[in-house]
Amino acid sequence: MEKSITMIGLGKMGLPMAENLLAAGYALTVFNRTVEKAAGLVSRGAVLAESPSVAVATGGIVVSMVADDRALLSLADDTFCLALGAGIHLSMSTVSAETNRTLSERHARFGGQVVAAPVFGRPEAAATRKLWIATSGPGTAKAQIKSVLDALGQGVFDFGEDVGAANVVKLAGNFLLAAAIEAMAEASAMAEKNGVPRAAMLQMMTSTIFNCPIYVNYGRGIIQSDFTEAKFSIPLILKDMHLVQHTAAASRAPMPIVNILCDRYLTALAKGREAYDSTALALGAAEDAGLNWLK
């Protein structure tokens, strides 16, 4: 029997993920608000639907990769949940735990199940199936979507039955990423103010005691200072940091560093840097020190 699946959201992450589903042999139906983004997929055999509820098949699998909590909850209205029925909604967006719990309650009224599966990796990782995926939700549903996740990433880490758990992990991970950028930026600014080029300092650190992908890749970004090509834009990472703030406050887990990160990104927006990449966080520490890292 031919495998079929629906993909909702064809942004910088969703589009390469959809391409990998096609490559894995799935009969793919897609929906995206900007229909032009689906042209390449349609030319390769995907079907473009006129609405999310038309895109899903009753009892089938739908993957969503949308911008934020509001977009996800707007997508999954009663019409959509009824159309999916006893199917599985694979929620891969970066949203709050409570949003996916609400999503699960909505689908349950129509017999459906939700599996949270947020991802770690940028668009190039999505294109090469190098995503790391955190999952949570009903065990029976996770078993049914295993082959889908195998077509999208290089590894899956399961965090139990609570559908919101994987989202907490995703927010924790994005906080750690931003905090690493801030720490490297502050250290780099201090080095340069004392006559040490940031490139020399970071190259030593990232080839020795901090030799791991995050420090290596984001350290390279700070050295090159090319922040204008946004693979993960500042409004999106600020949205995530606000979700971290909310999650921390709701659970009475103080996270003072996240407040600094939010202020850094808010300052970047105030300076008109909406289109900059999230690594432009580093400009804050540089400018505080009287340095100019913009090319």
Give the catalytic positions in this structure. 170
Structural element, H or E, at residue 30: strand 27-31
Length of the chain, in residues: 295
The answer for 74, left when phi > 0, alpha when psi is -120 to 50, beta otherwise, is: alpha
Q: Is residue 134 within 8 Å of residue 118, measured between CB atoms?
A: yes
The phi and psi torsions of 113 (rounded to 5 degrees) equal -130, 155
How many angstroms separate the CA atoms of 220 and 215, rounded? 8
Q: Percent helix, strand and coil across the chain, each rounded to 5?
A: 55, 15, 35
C-alpha R_g of the chain: 20
Structural element, H or E, at residue 120: strand 119-120
